[in-house]
């Protein structure tokens, strides 16, 4: 596939209100599908938010949610990605799942960089590896929120062949200018597409103003929104990656021995 329609559903995640969040998310998925989107991205921890006291209970519902996502993805022939709480061996992870358009789970990434300012590192376990998965839309690299601040992380996805990097996030408005800049930087330095879904709304003292967006390999923001609950779409031409890299290929011109990381 060289071209596809990508979409993001940006909404206010109600902390601990799984049933409400799931209803809202599936309404957004239906809207995006009706708009012709083939690859859909949802925000971070979209089913429950960071409801730490009850997170294990919320995570128990994730397999059922994944079944519904798989059925919807297969029926509508769409790819769905988003972060959910995962319970495994009595540990809880913040995991980004990708459901391919045949309903199969194409990939899963457990968040490696847990954000200390919201005590994520105290309640969740960290993943220990990056992940690139093969889908009908091409090779997708997976990132969650705070991962965006670590350039080596996204570079490793590019080196592993990612053509599109998915970012599922809850990034607050107080640092939204960092979000905007870092998304463009990661796209430019790795010469690939980024599809970044952020939440909108308020939780306690934290305000979220969205800025979900799709960024091209040249750093062009193809679409962006700061509206409360919204769907956005943009057409992605995978061949643009090759056109940009044919001008100069940053990945091939790396000199890892010089960096000594």
Distance CA 117, CA 97 (A): 24
Residues 6+ apart with CB under 8 A from 83: 42, 43, 44, 45, 46, 94, 95, 96, 97, 111, 144, 168
Q: CB-hemisphere CA count at 13 Å for 154?
A: 28
pTM score, two decimals?
Answer: 0.96
For the chain, give the mean pLDDT: 96
Residue ranges of domains in the chain, CATH in brackets: 3-253 (3.60.110.10)
pLDDT at 168: 98
R_g of the chain computed on alpha carbons: 17
The side-by-side arrangement of strands in the sheet containing 138-144 is 132-135, 138-144, 164-168, 193-197, 212-215, 221-225
pLDDT at 226: 83
Please identify which of the residues 44, 120, 163, 203 carries the catalytic annotation.
44
* Per-state percent for the chain, helix, strand, coil, to nearest 5: 35, 30, 35
pLDDT at 260: 81
pLDDT at 229: 93
Percent of the chain surpassing pLDDT 70: 99
Please identify which of the residues 76, 111, 133, 163 carries the catalytic annotation.
111
145 classed as catalytic: yes
pLDDT digits (tens, 9 = 90+) for 208-249: 999 999 999 999 999 999 889 999 999 999 999 999 999 999
At residue 2, does pLDDT exceed 90? Answer: no
Q: CB-hemisphere CA count at 13 Å for 141?
A: 24
pLDDT at 1: 55
pLDDT at 77: 98
pLDDT at 101: 98
pLDDT digits (tens, 9 = 90+) for 71-129: 999 999 999 999 999 999 999 999 999 999 999 999 999 999 999 999 999 999 999 99
List the beta bridge partners of residue 200: 209
Distance CA 52, CA 15 (A): 10
Distance CA 138, CA 118 (A): 34
Please identify which of the residues 38, 133, 145, 154 carries the catalytic annotation.
145
């Amino acid at each position: 596939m060289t071209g596809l329609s990508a979409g993001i559903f940006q909404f206010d995640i109600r902390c601990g209100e799984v049933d409400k969040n799931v209803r809202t998310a599936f309404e957004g998925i239906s809207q995006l599908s009706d708009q012709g989107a083939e690859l859909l991205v949802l925000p971070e921890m979209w089913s429950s938010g960071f409801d730490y006291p009850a997170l294990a209970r919320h995570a128990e519902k994730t397999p059922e949610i994944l079944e519904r996502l798989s059925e919807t993805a297969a029926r509508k022939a769409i790819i769905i990605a988003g972060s959910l709480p995962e319970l495994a061996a009595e540990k809880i992870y913040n995991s980004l799942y990708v459901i391919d358009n045949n309903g199969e789970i194409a990939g899963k990434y457990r968040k490696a960089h847990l954000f200390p300012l919201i005590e994520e590192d105290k309640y969740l376990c960290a993943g220990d590896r990056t992940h690139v998965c093969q889908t009908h839309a091409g090779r997708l690299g997976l990132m969650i929120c705070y991962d965006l601040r670590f350039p080596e992380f996204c570079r490793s996805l590019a080196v592993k062949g990612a053509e599109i990097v998915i970012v599922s996030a809850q990034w607050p408005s107080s640092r939204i200018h960092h979000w905007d800049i870092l998304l463009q930087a990661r796209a430019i330095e790795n010469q690939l597409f980024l599809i970044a879904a952020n939440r909108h709304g308020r939780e306690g003292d934290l305000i979220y103003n969205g800025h979900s967006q799709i960024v091209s390999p040249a750093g062009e923001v193809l679409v962006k929104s700061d509206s409360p609950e919204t769907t956005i779409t943009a057409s992605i031409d995978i061949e643009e990656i090759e056109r940009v890299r044919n001008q100069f290929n940053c990945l091939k011109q790396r000199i890892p021995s010089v960096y000594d990381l």
